[in-house]
Amino acid sequence: MCNRQAEVKGEAMIEGARVQKLRQAFANVFGGAPDLVARAPGRVNLIGEHTDYSDGFVMPMAIDRDVLVAVRRRADSQIRLHSVDFGGVSQLHLGAPVARDGMRTWSNYPRGVVHILLDAGAPLGGFDLAFTGNVPSGAGLSSSAAVEVATLQALDALFGLKLPTFEKAKLGQRAEREFVGVACGIMDQAISAAGVAGHALMLDCRSLETTLVPMGAGIAVVVTDTSVVRGLVDSKYNDRRAECEAATAHFARTRSDVIALRDVTADEVHDAADALGPVVARRARHVVTENARVLSAVAAFRAEDLGEVGRLMVASHASLRDDFEVTVPELDLLVELACAQPGVLGARMTGAGFGGCTVAIMPTDAVAGYVDSVVPAYEARTGLTPRVFTCEASDGASVVG
């Protein structure tokens, strides 16, 4: 207990130092202190990939890496945005339509939030905003959702918008879909807004009902970054969504109750394989079987059957590799190396794919052996140096200063 208390105190001191550093950066750029600082975490998805935009089930957890946003009201209608990590200031005015900034693309996430809030009728005024984060960009841990939700949390507090938790998630999703141009589901913004420390969250992406899933003691969640950076807007992410929608349209022609692949059974997908065509049939099969794996994983966590959780994670990766085709050789290699490592219960790619990270679960005393074995083996076969970090389940968005 004493050691854990020391760790928590150390984490609080680190977070406090980051807040103070952001406050100083804000003052350096804009002059004077911000009115408040908000945070929102990134996330790792334990299981349930590419199911959220088909009204399916997912099981993410908010991680102890986040985005901090500092804001201050202005007396005029000007908005100034600054990224501590990328530099520069991007400006816009409430009297003009919100447009993308092609030079400072980092600003398009808070710009998207402003656009969506104005579209929703929120009473915004001018403000200055600066942000920084330690969620790895381009690694599949939802750094973009963390920016969106942290911005929403900050503006909610600054202007007294009184947005419910899941309204922030919905608005963040709209910002990414309608302004940034990524046809994402609700999962990333939802877990960033609503995460609970010590728990994963099983989310029904249709009803937005949530089920807390205790992570248990002595289990480490280890994320390994392939160092293969992916860009969702330029990837085949949107293609996969279109393929799922094509499958849904096929079933909806004969079943009026089909709204998304959530409503289709594995037997129906099997029987319709010829009509769907081989590619669309594989996409649909992944979504339907992945939904079943999420529900099974909830039951396995509750039964403390972590071996079954691990088996489901490995099956999820195989489906993402073979049916949904969103892995890359580096992701497949990391999962292979992880599963061969003593103590590792299961591993899979996490995030949208096409690069990014894997997630593995293992006893905490197996982490050192994992790092010592998997990292050099991966480097030897790819020439890439992976980043490895252990994540703890954290709370969702909040005002921190």
Give bridge partners of residue 39 from the DSSP assignment. Answer: 68, 398
Q: Which of 51, 122, 129, 46 is nearest to 83 (CA)?
A: 129
Q: Is the pLDDT of residue 4 over 70?
A: no
What pLDDT is recorded for position 6?
32
| pLDDT band per the 50, 70, 90 thresholds, residue 138 | low
Compute CA 38 distance to the chain's CA centroid, rounded to the nearest angstrom. Answer: 18
Q: Are 12 and 400 in contact (CB under 8 A)?
A: no
Q: Are 130 and 72 in contact (CB under 8 A)?
A: no
What single letter denotes the amino acid at residue 21? K
- pLDDT tens digits along 342-376: 999 999 999 888 888 999 999 999 999 999 999 99
Task: Give the residue numbers marked as catalytic.
Answer: 188
Q: Is the pLDDT of residue 9 over 70?
A: no
What pLDDT is recorded for position 14?
66
Q: What is the DSSP letter of 106?
A: G
- pLDDT tens digits along 41-84: 999 999 999 998 899 999 999 999 999 999 999 999 999 999 99
Tell me the pairing of strands 127-133 and 57-73. Answer: antiparallel
Name the more confident of 139 and 349: 349
Mean pLDDT of the chain: 93
Q: Are 397 and 169 in contact (CB under 8 A)?
A: no
H-assigned helices in 323-364: 329-339
Residue labelled with tokens 């280890």: 222
Percent of the chain beyond pLDDT 70? Answer: 95
What pLDDT is recorded for position 237?
81
* pTM (2 d.p.): 0.85
Q: What is the 3-state secondary structure (H, E, C) of 155-176?
A: HHHHHCCCCCHHHHHHHHHHHH
What pLDDT is recorded for position 184?
81
What pLDDT is recorded for position 240?
93
Residue 311 burial by Cβ neighbours in a 10 Å radius (0-12, 13-18, 19+): middle
Q: Are 366 and 219 in contact (CB under 8 A)?
A: no
What pLDDT is recorded for position 232?
56
- pLDDT tens digits along 168-212: 999 999 999 999 988 788 889 999 999 999 999 999 999 989 999
Tell me the pairing of strands 78-83 and 89-93. Answer: antiparallel
What is Dmax (Cα atoms) for the chain?
A: 65
Structure-token pair, residue 1: 């207990």
Residue 234 burial by Cβ neighbours in a 10 Å radius (0-12, 13-18, 19+): exposed
What pLDDT is recorded for position 8?
33
Element (H, E) at 243: helix 237-252
H-assigned helices in 74-134: 108-119
CATH code of the domain made up of 2-47+60-208:
3.30.230.10
Residue labelled with tokens 């290699």: 333
Q: For residue 339, what are the contacts with CB-CB under 8 A and spacing of at least 6?
A: 314, 346, 347
Report CA-CA distances (Å) from 199 to 189, 212, 222.
17, 6, 15
What pLDDT is recorded for position 356?
87
Residue 102 burial by Cβ neighbours in a 10 Å radius (0-12, 13-18, 19+): exposed
Interval 238-254 mean pLDDT = 95
- pLDDT tens digits along 88-123: 999 999 999 999 999 999 999 999 999 999 999 999
Sequence spans of domains, the chain: 2-47+60-208
| pLDDT band per the 50, 70, 90 thresholds, residue 238 | confident
Interval 283-297 mean pLDDT = 98
Dist CA 295 CA 289 (whole Å): 10
